[in-house]
Structure 1
Amino acid sequence: MTHRTDPLAHAQHTAHEWLGVVAARLGTEDRDYAYRTLRAWLHLVRDRLTVDSAVHLAAQLPEYFRGVFYDGWVPSRVPVRYDAAEFTGLFAREAGISAADVPGASGAISTALSELFSPGQLDHVFALMPAGLRGELGGEAPVPPAPRKSPEHLRLNALEDTVLALSEAVAALARGLEELPTEEPARGRVAKAAQEAHRILMAK
């Protein structure tokens, strides 16, 4: 008699392990609540990133949560600009919690994922976020945003876009220059990285 195994069992087991870590950091045994808040965190952080950064973040997730991460994603519309106050409203709506509970919940998710991801992964992601949003992802209450139509606000938005594009380009070059065991000649790897950096800067 042939012994049959469930091909999805490992993915489900890993997803439950991750959800257990998240629930523990949230201080709850309610797996549904833990899942909703994790999904909200993943979707909102994903949409605030460029396509390249979102893909690198998704690669850190187990198979099941990678599907959750990509669900509803529209790469042509990212990064979506929203500040910490808007993040609060969006998070509360998607997670089904009150706005007052968002900083604690998002901070707990960040703590859990920092334990589960490769070292430094969340630091890289948070470095691409505005300071106010970084604070809320770390569990701080949101700071009221500056007036949206002011020249200073528009200048900061343009600067943020430029810094984000430069960060992505530098990251692409760094990946190409890494000394990794590969069959591809170093020259070809560097050329590809340069092309990717150029594409990012031109898209800006």
Structure 2
Amino acid sequence: MCAQRLEVLDHTIQLTHEWIDELRDRLDWSSSRDALRLMRTVLTAIRDRIPHAEVAQLSAQMPLLIRGMFFEGWTPARTPIKDRDAATFRNAIEAKLGDVQGYRGEADIAAVFATLANRVSEGELRQVRHALPRAIRGFWPPDLVWTDD
């Protein structure tokens, strides 16, 4: 019997690896597992701080596997979280991240933002960025041109 492949699964696996590999390279880490853990933790922290409509729009541009992780464990009734400062955001990520060898704090969080900036449309990035508290917007790559601040 010939095994049929499901192209949609093959494609999302390939795209997911591309996202993870890009982040791992930005971080200069050897562990794809740790890069994925960081990506998931930062993405869910973003998810919990933007309006539900933006969550849906952002997720539409993610590979299916990353989108599943993005929504896993989400309780919409508890979001968006109203904290406004970067330290609280960073601390929430670090509390959920666990032990990741080589983790450097804000620079690594910013690497996830940079990966998003490379993988998501500019229009959606602007909407997500605008929805985030001003202090958290500082994690976006400084080389992006933003006129909404």
1:67 deviation in Å?
0.1
**Residue 102 (structure 1) aligns with:** 105
Q: Distance in 2 between matches of 1:138 and 1:53?
A: 17
Letter of the structure 2 residue corresponding to residue 130 of structure 1 = P
Deviation string, structure 1 residues 94-152 (Cα, Å, up to 9, x no partner): 22259x822101111111111111123222211112221111x2379xxxxxxxxxxxx
**Residue 120 (structure 1) aligns with:** 123
**Residue 147 (structure 2) aligns with:** none
1:1-204 matches, cutoff 5 A: 1-6=1-6, 8-82=9-83, 83-96=85-98, 97=100, 101-135=104-138, 137-138=139-140
* Identity score, percent: 30
Q: Distance in 2 between matches of 1:71 and 1:17?
A: 21
**Residue 182 (structure 1) aligns with:** none
Letter of the structure 2 residue corresponding to residue 110 of structure 1 = F
Query: Does the 8 A contact of 1:48 with 1:129 survive in 2?
Result: yes
Which of these two proteins has the greater Rg computed from alpha carbons?
1
1:2 deviation in Å?
3.0
CA RMSD, aligned part only? 2.1
Q: Distance in 2 between matches of 1:101 and 1:138?
A: 16
1:3 deviation in Å?
4.3
Query: Does the 8 A contact of 1:47 with 1:78 survive in 2?
Result: yes
Q: Which consecutive segments of 4 or more residues in structure 1 shift more than 3 A?
A: none
Q: Which runs of 5+ in 2 are unaligned?
A: 143-149
Q: Distance in 2 between matches of 1:112 and 1:52?
A: 22
TM-score, normalisation: structure 2: 0.82
Q: Which runs of 5+ in 1 are unaligned?
A: 141-204
TM-score, normalisation: structure 1: 0.62
State the secondary structure of the residue aligned to 2:47. helix
Q: Distance in 1 between matches of 2:105 and 2:18?
A: 23
Q: Which structure has more helix as a fraction of its residues?
A: 1
Q: Which has the higher contact order (CA 8 A, sep 6+)?
A: 2
Q: Distance in 1 between matches of 2:90 and 2:27?
A: 17
